A and B are shown apart, each in its own frame.
Chain A
Amino acid sequence: EVQLVESGGALEQPGRSLRLSCTASGFTFGDYGMSWFRQAPAKGLEWVGFIRSKAYGGTTEYAASVKGRFSISRDDSKSVAYLQMNSLKTEDTAVYYCSRRSISSGYYDYWGQGTLVTVSS
């Protein structure tokens, strides 16, 4: 069974940093690209960023709203994807989800349960 479990969400002050983890199981993690999404309170879904599998260079893409502040990495030996969040802003407050990109295209077939990040002084 495919499972994605996010962790690391917390209350953090503006300007500080936080790292989220997404631990995967039930599939060959290294074969898949992974994305992070977020959902601010009572708002819709927003794509945050994406990391390709090593077979496709392990390169990343980011939304304009987080580019230069957030970075995504992966450790295929541990089946974990990370979201490093620097220079946090109050508008980064959201539930953050990791999700597995389909092997064949850009839709997302499995999602974690989410982890809450609150940025407030």
Chain B
Amino acid sequence: EIVMTQSPATVSVSPGERATLSCRASQSVSSNLAWYQQKPGQAPRLLIYGASTRATGVPARFSGSGSGTEFTLTISSLQSEDFAVYYCQQYNSWPWTFGQGTKVEIK
């Protein structure tokens, strides 16, 4: 099983600032990585797939990068609606696995 590790667990950011979230895989997942956003009481929402492709309707301030074992999600200028928990997920090999999540909170 591929273990996904996200860091930091929590990041405190002021509105308008940049947030950088990291995700590391225990072995290569190529570019088979997705990022999801989850707000309290809501289902996850797909943000990024293929490590760097924004899903339909996702604002351009969200960008993904990386391949192999190291990945980054960057939110260029945080808006109030972006404060949430973010999860990475690998879909390179079964079983699909998630990171433990990074909470983006208001500073």
Binding site for B on A (CB under 8 A): 35, 37, 44-47, 50, 61, 63-64, 97, 102, 105-114
Contacts and interface: CB of A to CB of B under 8 A. Distances in A.
Residue from B36, B43, B94 whose CB has the most chain A CB atoms within 10 Å: B43
A37 B92 CA distance: 17
B71 to A, nearest CB: 13
Contacts, number: 59
How many interface residues does chain B have, given as a range? Answer: 20 to 34
B29 to A, nearest CB: 10
Contacts of A110: 46
A106 B96 contact: yes
B100 A97 contact: no
A111 to B, nearest CB: 4
A109 B54 CA distance: 11
Given A47-B95, A107-B46, A112-B43, 18 more contacts: A44-B87, A44-B99, A45-B36, A45-B89, A46-B98, A47-B96, A47-B98, A50-B96, A64-B95, A105-B49, A105-B91, A106-B32, A106-B91, A107-B89, A108-B46, A109-B46, A110-B46, A111-B43
B43 A114 contact: yes
Interface string B71-103: 000000000000000010101101111111100
Nearest to A111: B43
A105 B36 CA distance: 15
B52 to A, nearest CB: 12
Contact of B49 (A46, A50, A102): A102
